[in-house]
C-alpha cells in the first residue's frame, strides 16, 4: 500500500480548484447600535491549496473570527465562503457539520482531547466517527514524526502538555483533510517542541500537499509559513510571501506602532526565555 495523497498540490491535475478556501466580502459584526463591533470588514481572501498560511495581527484585529468563519464554525453577517468547491455559507447545519467533519482539521491551543481515550484512539476518533479507515502507513508516519511512538496507549492525563498537543496535531493530520486550521497551535509548547511541530506541519505541506492556515502571534512560527496575512481592524492590511522571522517581526512593529524593541532585541529576549 502506498501513502495516500488525498490533497493534490496546487495546480495539480484532477480537476480540483487550486484554492482550498475562499472568502468574498466577508463581514462579521457583533452586537448592535452603539455597541456594534465589526470584527471582519468586507474581507476577500483566497487560501491556495498546498500552502501554509499564517494569520497575524494585533489582539482584537479579527484573526480568530476570520479563522472561525473560514472553518465554518461561525456564521457571517454578510459575504460568502467556500471550502474547495463548496459554498459553506449556503449549507444547512447538518451539511456543514458533515463537511467540517470530513474536510476540515483543527488544532487549537487547548488540546481538546477526550480524557477517557488513549492517544491513538484520540488520533483516529474523527475517522472512526466518519466511518473511515485510517491509512496505516500514513498514520505510522504521523505518529512517528510527531514523536508519540511509545505513548500511544497513554491517556491524556498521563502525557505532558507538549505531548498532548502532539496528539492533537496528529489527530488533525491523520485524516488528511482538505484544510487544517490551527489557532496558536504551538502556543503552549516550549520552543523546541514548538519547532518540531512546526517542522512537521511544514513537511505535511511540502510532501503531501496539505493546506494549513494558522493564527499566531509568534514571528518565528509565522516564518514556517509560505505566506503571512496581517489583519488590522477586521481588514487584511498586508500579504507577505516567503516570510522570515525578522521580516515578520519588522512588519508587526510597523502595524502595532510598538518601537520599543528592535528585532535583534526581540529575538535575543526570545532566545533567553524559551
Report the nearest approach of ligand ADP to the CB of residue 63 (Å).
4
Cβ–Cβ < 8 Å for 235, 250: no
Q: Are 104 and 181 in contact (CB under 8 A)?
A: yes
Binding site for ligand ADP (CB under 6 A): 30-31, 37, 39, 57, 59-65
Q: What whole-number distance in Å separates Cα of residue 56 and Cα of residue 248? A: 9
Q: How far is the CB of 109 from ligand ADP (least distance, A)?
A: 11
Q: How many CA atoms lie within 13 A of 45 on its CB side?
A: 32
Shortest distance, position 179 Cβ to ligand ADP, whole Å: 18
Paired residues of 213 in beta bridges: 53, 181
| Nearer to ligand ADP among residue 50 and residue 219 (C-beta) | 219
Report in angstroms how near the CB of residue 216 gets to ligand ADP at its nearest.
Answer: 11
251: its cell numbers: 512588519
> What is the nearest approach in angstroms of ligand ADP to the Cβ of residue 106?
15
Nearer to ligand ADP, 30 or 158 (CB): 30
CB closer to ligand ADP, 7 vs 55? 55
Identity of the residue, 60 or 187, whose beta carbon is nearer to ligand ADP in the bound complex: 60
Choice between 55 and 179, CB closer to ligand ADP: 55
Closest separation in Å from C-beta 219 to ligand ADP: 16
What order of strands is seen across the sheet that includes strand 104-107? 104-107, 179-183, 212-215, 52-56, 227-232, 235-241
DSSP readout, 187-250? TTS-HHHHHHHHHHHHHHHHHH---EEEE-S-HHHHTTSSEEEEEETTEEEEEEES--HHHHHH
Q: Which is nearer to ligand ADP, 69 or 205 (CB)?
A: 69
Amino acid at each position: 500500500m502506498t501513502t495516500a495523497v488525498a490533497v493534490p498540490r496546487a495546480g495539480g491535475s484532477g480537476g480540483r480548484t487550486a484554492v482550498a478556501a475562499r472568502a468574498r466580502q466577508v463581514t462579521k459584526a457583533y452586537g448592535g447600535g452603539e455597541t456594534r463591533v465589526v470584527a471582519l470588514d468586507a474581507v476577500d481572501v483566497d487560501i491556495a491549496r498546498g500552502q501554509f498560511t499564517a494569520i497575524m495581527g494585533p489582539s482584537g484585529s479579527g484573526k480568530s473570527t476570520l479563522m472561525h468563519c473560514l472553518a465554518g464554525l461561525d456564521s457571517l453577517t454578510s459575504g460568502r465562503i467556500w471550502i474547495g468547491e463548496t459554498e459553506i455559507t449556503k449549507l444547512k447545519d447538518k451539511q456543514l457539520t458533515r463537511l467540517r467533519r470530513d474536510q476540515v482539521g483543527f488544532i487549537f491551543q487547548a488540546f481538546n482531547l477526550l480524557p477517557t481515550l488513549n492517544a491513538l484512539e484520540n488520533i483516529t476518533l474523527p475517522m472512526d466517527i466518519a466511518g473511515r479507515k485510517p491509512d496505516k502507513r500514513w498514520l505510522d508516519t504521523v505518529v512517528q514524526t510527531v514523536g508519540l511512538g511509545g505513548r500511544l496507549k497513554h491517556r491524556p492525563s498521563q502525557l505532558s502538555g507538549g505531548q498532548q498537543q502532539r496528539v492533537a496535531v496528529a489527530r488533525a493530520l491523520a485524516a488528511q483533510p482538505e484544510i487544517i486550521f490551527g489557532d496558536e497551535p504551538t502556543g503552549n509548547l516550549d520552543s523546541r517542541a514548538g519547532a518540531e511541530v512546526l517542522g512537521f506541519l511544514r513537511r505535511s505541506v511540502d510532501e503531501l500537499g496539505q493546506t494549513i492556515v494558522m493564527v499566531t502571534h509568534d514571528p518565528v512560527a509565522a516564518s514556517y509559513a509560505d505566506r503571512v496575512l496581517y489583519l488590522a481592524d477586521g481588514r487584511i492590511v498586508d500579504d507577505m510571501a516567503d516570510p522570515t522571522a525578522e521580516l515578520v517581526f519588522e512588519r508587526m512593529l510597523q502595524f502595532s506602532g510598538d518601537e520599543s524593541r528592535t528585532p535583534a532585541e526581540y529575538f535575543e529576549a526570545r532566545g533567553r526565555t524559551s
